[in-house]
Homo-oligomer: A and B are copies of this chain.
């Protein structure tokens, strides 16, 4: 068994836009990345769900990769791939590898439902097109594709280059299944913020989260407490963070994290239409939650 490649917090930046929404706000993206690097992450993952990957034009997406590579030399850089067609995914994978990314996180997305063979083929074709290691990312609520633990474990075993699993379905039993099916040998990461404590208790190798954008080192602290078996301190910390974790999950990460950054004084623009910026009572609620930290 190899050592676990990543252990701890994998931090997800938003992708800041210019005020007129015409493109990426590059200096602010650098600031967002720099701030995340100071939250003790095991890795940085750009262009994930929080990064509005699916909403970017192709030129923007490529520029974001370049900016990510420039900014994150001190920890591994993961690039998210969420494309409807296999061809489009491979084109992005190749760009990311050439640009200097360290690893890929691939989520299959659907208009028409995919059967397990179609999903397997998607990962197989992508893995054949790159030498970068690949994290399988399951997030049915956003992608419309729900991969069973059995399928994900099979892909890690059989497809060269696929080695990690990120589970964001929010079903702890799936983490159990991954652990059991792999005899504990396949590292899995929790992407469901509101279950962070329990997923770590269940043995997750890490926590994939955009929360450090707003909560700084607190997620890394929670990880360390649980790693040390210090539930007496982990539990109150988790319950302190929980209202914000729940808020950013329920309100959509780009919408809520960009609003939170603005409240903290970092102007990262609005999410892209049809997504709307947080406003009114919801914005006030977030303001209060941040003040209570």
Contact = CB atoms under 8 A, between A and B. Distances in A.
Interface of A: 49, 54-55, 82, 84-87, 108-115, 117-119, 121-122, 125, 141-144, 172-173, 176, 179-180, 184, 194-195, 197-198, 201-203, 226, 229-232, 235, 239, 242-243, 252-255, 271-276
Contacts of A117: 276
Given A176-B194, A276-B118, A253 B142 contact: no
> Which of A54, A141, A274: most chain B Cβ within 10 A?
A274
Contact of A242 (B180, B184, B231, B239): B180
A122 B142 CA distance: 19
A89 to B, nearest CB: 9
B231 A121 contact: no
Copies assembled: 4
Nearest to A231: B229
Describe A's contact surface by its main secondary structure: helix
A246 B262 CA distance: 46
Contacts of A184: 239
B255 A121 contact: no
A111 B109 contact: yes
A114 B179 contact: no
Contact of A252 (B54, B113, B172): B113
Contacts of A109: 111
